[in-house]
A and B are shown apart, each in its own frame.
Chain A
């Protein structure tokens, strides 16, 4: 690993002052489960790391029915899973965080880092950059694209967004707080994710001198949620497709359904098509199946990932059925 200097500030302001206005020379360190790996592989080569784990205000978690759940960025996945209020009021979030196992990863990995982890695309992880370019041309369309995007993949980005938490957070209407030199801003989680269109652009709407400080999840009693994911092996793997669903039942019909797919596009992928299929209808297996079909109707699979269309369809269907069967 390339040598670097290490700073461990106690205040957010101090941390922000240590971040430059361009990507590359400095990285923010929280749990490090993704970043340290990337540094060992030479994918990230910072000259300075700014550790944010010593900043007390980033490690708070609070819940109230009025304000909802506020999760500090450096709260670990284990701390999230062990929290009584999260267990009681946000079962979908528990399901998603639980899936991001192993135990060791849950202990070190943070909620903020889970959202900001870099894609698993093997071209990216082998040094070809987010756009997987060689001689100005993407290696993905004619390459080993079995794990790449089936939606939102017109190019030049073909990787899939790797976050387990983002789809359910979006379905629940969560926002993130970002702090930079000019103060704070708030973004819906969906807007945190962007599909890069040129070299050097990142997959997050986060400036190099901004820090993700908090995730805020509204409290919505009566909303049923579920996450369903499909992976190659049970243990220690990223899903091939996942779906997160949040909905209400009123007078026997579905209201305000949110359906968000994960691991199928360069960003978490909401499906207004599936949501329209569900709205105002009586839940049934046929309806869930129709929503699954609607969610992948616009899919444009690459040469080796056609199978993911079927998986995404089934993930949506089963997440809907599972949410409907839940109490709440």
Chain B
């Protein structure tokens, strides 16, 4: 079946089998392996991407369900010259990762949070990341990383 998807600003057209999962489409056809496959049961959130700005678990979305949509993966967050997104910087600065497996999903779930709520409390950050599991950090540094990014985005907005 023919689908048309805009991934990180670039429109693609592909002929896909209806049973192809969005995560496999992104990794194998689009070659964007930053989106990770974790539990494959829509629990862990490692496969989280943005579909029309909303966080979704791409291991439980069919590629055909994404037809006509805009997808943002972790590769789409950084600037053209490789400039890290404030969330990516925050995870760097605050040690928001150890093994890094959950990180792309964490960052995209956090991205949706900041787009809806630029000044989240710690409790709101934890709630927004409820669908994303990390088995290394104990989450403390992840929460700090998101706070760092929120502060950075706020400071950038003030200077703009």
Contacts and interface: CB of A to CB of B under 8 A. Distances in A.
Interface of A: 1-6, 8, 29, 32-33, 36-37, 39-40, 49, 51, 53, 78, 101-105, 107-108, 235-236
A236 B57 contact: no
Given A6-B1, A235-B130, A236-B131, A104 B18 contact: no
B55 A32 contact: no
Contacts of A29: 62, 65
10 closest Cβ pairs, A-B complex = A102-B131, A6-B18, A107-B54, A235-B130, A1-B19, A104-B131, A104-B57, A36-B60, A102-B130, A104-B55
Given A103-B109, A104-B56, A104-B131, 20 more contacts: A1-B19, A2-B19, A6-B1, A6-B18, A29-B62, A33-B42, A36-B21, A37-B42, A51-B65, A53-B65, A102-B132, A103-B112, A103-B128, A104-B48, A104-B55, A105-B42, A107-B55, A108-B57, A235-B131, A236-B130
Interface of B: 1, 17-19, 21, 40-43, 45, 48, 51, 54-57, 60-62, 64-65, 67, 109, 112-113, 127-128, 130-132
Contacts of A101: 127, 130-131
B19 A37 contact: no
Contact of A4 (B19, B41, B60, B130): B19
Contacts, number: 78
A4 B18 contact: yes
Interface majority SS on A: helix, strand, loop or mixed? mixed
Contacts of A51: 64-65
Contact of B45 (A2, A40, A104, A108): A104
Nearest to B55: A104
B55 to A, nearest CB: 5
B94 to A, nearest CB: 21
Given A101-B130, A103-B128, A103-B131, A3 B60 contact: no
Contacts of B131: 101-105, 235-236
Contact of A5 (B18, B60, B113): B18
12 contacts: A6-B18, A37-B60, A39-B19, A101-B127, A101-B131, A103-B109, A104-B42, A104-B48, A104-B56, A104-B131, A108-B56, A235-B131
Nearest to B47: A104
Contacts of A1: 19, 21
Nearest to B113: A103
A75 B150 CA distance: 30
Question: Which of B43, B60, B109, B127 has the most A CB atoms < 10 Å from its CB?
Answer: B60
A71 B81 CA distance: 45
A101 B64 CA distance: 24
B21 to A, nearest CB: 8
B40 to A, nearest CB: 7
Contacts of A2: 19
B20 to A, nearest CB: 9
Contacts of A78: 54
A107 B56 contact: yes
Given A2-B19, A104-B48, A40 B40 contact: yes
A33 B48 CA distance: 13
Contacts of A32: 60-62, 65
Contacts of A36: 21, 60-62
Contacts of B112: 103
B58 to A, nearest CB: 9
Nearest to A3: B19
A40 B19 CA distance: 9
Contacts of A40: 40-41, 60
B54 to A, nearest CB: 4
A39 B56 CA distance: 18
Nearest to B49: A104
A123 B131 CA distance: 24
Contacts of B61: 32, 36, 108
A127 to B, nearest CB: 15
Contacts of A235: 130-131
A5 B64 CA distance: 11
Nearest to A41: B41
Nearest to B51: A107
